[in-house]
Amino acid sequence: MMSRRDKHGRSRVGSGQRVRFWKTKQFKWSMITMLVLLVSTLGIYAYLFGNFVSNIQQENKDNGDALVQVEEWSGKDRVNILLLGVDNRDNDTHPRADTMLIVSIDPVTKKANAMSVMRDTWYKIPDGYDFEKINAAHALGGPDLTIRTLKDMLQIPIHYYAKTDFQGFIKIIDALGGITIDVEKPLHYLDDGVYDIHLNAGVQKLDGTHALMYVRFRNDALGDFARTERQRKFLASLADEMSSASTILKLPSLLNAIEPYIETNMTMSNMIKLGRLALEVDGSDIETLQIPPRDALREGYAGGGQAVLIPNVYETRRQVYEFLGMDTSLVKEDKAVQPQEYYAKEPVVPVNPKVDPVKPKPDPEKAQKPAEDKKDQPTDGTKPADGTKPTDGTKPSTGTTPGQPTDGTTTPGTGGTTPPAGGGGQTTPPTGGTTTPPTGGTTTPPSGGTGGTTTPPAGGGTTTPPAGGSGDTTTPPASGGTTPPPATPTTTQP
């Protein structure tokens, strides 16, 4: 049917022709409804986000730390953010920092860099604390002193920080639904029963508990070097996950889960600017650097045998500037903050009396040995065979240290018999073992006794009686011969 034309010559839909849906009232009401829902959702998200940001501000945490003083980020220059992880499982209100990661983003190139700071780095902490492990800065002055120490060491500004503890880390990863990581090798370590580490090798999605295991493990030949490398690898995977669309949908539950465990100096406007910038960064292309770099440090020791990493401060700064694309000609040597032990033949640093030492932890491998390892432990004061030397100058026959007699009696360990030095003593053969003397030999008891008696061997050997005894008896072994004991303490070799 031909369409009709109105008086202006425009065509009109003829009778019986269907009107397009987008011109109908239903479509208009649907769009209005969707718009209302969208605005409401955004309002709810903004409200939740606003409350979250307010509650995680440092001044609202009331932990007694000095407020962080930092440079304001212009939005056009490189921005540096410190991520702090602390271990306060002992409810320590001022623990040392366990993890220090500096994330640096260039808003021009849209490139991100990550630098992990080795916690045993030996550096001069401001406010008169002198040289100490750099992770002690948090125990001495919270995030503020930590930031000032890192700024002084690296000669770069740090604009923001975010801090969490073990439980906060677990909650964050669980709220995200886990992180996929290629675990490069089996990781196992007994810690305290709560934070033990058990991970198999291979690509897997780690929940919060197992992700914490991954970033904490350092009990292999490379120690903290390998651990910081794993942390940088994990950070790249986390950034990739955070930038996904599914994370936005999880935002309410994510904020609710991590709020009690996060502390920061970022305001809402800061987070919005950083969020927009982060969306433009390729999370799979984050470049990483260890601080101090491998070729700019020496391994040394402090009091109590603690391991420390002594940096070449000038070389560390130079490599950081180069890594961040900054002008390396601006780096200058500073002898005031350079540990002189770096140049020593044997780098041993002095104990710092101004700082509480690290509390030694018991060896969990020894503390949690299976019960069967202790079933052969003697209860008479002797020491089990472990290759150690006795303290009386004698040499055990099978790695066993004889106990010290208190009544003139010597109780040897399994596998050998040590007669007493001097007469009047009684020799007790070892439990479960025998001493085989030469065939047809004689047994000469200890000299110095009077009036003693001798029991001859059951195998037909002869016995030389003592030169006088006092009632003590020497019982030779029940084999075909006898063994002459020496006059001084010795141990029969197997």
Could you tell me the residue ranges of all domains in the chain?
59-343
- The pLDDT value recorded for residue 19 is 60
Phi then psi dihedrals of residue 271, to 5 deg: -65, -35
Between residues 349 and 404, the one the model is more confident about: 349
Return the number of other C-beta atoms located less than 10 Å from residue 441's C-beta.
16
- pLDDT per residue as tens digits for the range 212-262: 899 888 777 777 778 778 878 887 788 777 766 666 667 777 777 778 888
* Mean pLDDT in residue range 371-399: 41
Torsional sign, CA 288, 292, 296, 300: negative
pLDDT band at 335 (very low <50, low <70, confident <90, very high): very high
Percent of the chain with pLDDT over 70: 61
Q: Which two tokens stand for residue 73?
A: 């980020």
Residue partners of 434: CB distance under 8 A and separation at least 6: 477, 478, 479
User: What pLDDT does 84 receive?
Assistant: 93
What's the mean pLDDT in 406-419? 41
pLDDT at 488: 43
Q: What is the mean pLDDT of the chain?
A: 72
163's tokens = 């801090």
Residue type, 361: K
Tell me the C-alpha distance between 183 and 202, whole Å.
Answer: 5
| Rounded-to-integer distance, Cα 450 and Cα 468, Å | 3
Tell me how far apart the alpha carbons of residues 383 and 361 are, in angstroms, rounded to a whole number: 24
pLDDT tens, position by position, 44-91? 666 666 676 777 777 666 666 778 888 889 888 999 999 999 887 767
Which has more confidence, 458 or 267?
A: 267
- Per-residue pLDDT, 461: 42
pLDDT at 341 over 80: yes
pLDDT for 320: 97
Q: How many CA atoms lie within 13 A of 186 on its CB side?
A: 4
Residue predicted with more confidence, 104 or 450: 104
Q: Is the pLDDT of residue 286 over 50?
A: yes
Which band of pLDDT confidence, cut at 50, 70 and 90, is reported for residue 430?
very low
- The dihedral region occupied by 322, where left means phi > 0, alpha psi between -120 and 50, and beta the remainder, is alpha
Give the CB-side neighbour count of residue 66, counting CA atoms within 13 A.
16
**Backbone torsions φ then ψ of 103, nearest 5 degrees:** -100, 125
CATH for 59-343 is 3.40.630.190
First to last CA, the chain: 118
Q: 392 near 404, Cβ under 8 Å?
A: yes
Give Cβ neighbours of residue 267 (< 8 Å, ≥ 6 apart): 53, 57
pLDDT of 161-216, one tens digit each? 999 888 888 888 888 889 999 999 999 988 877 788 899 999 999 998 999 899 88
The CA dihedral of 114, 118, 123, 125, to the nearest 10 degrees, is: 70
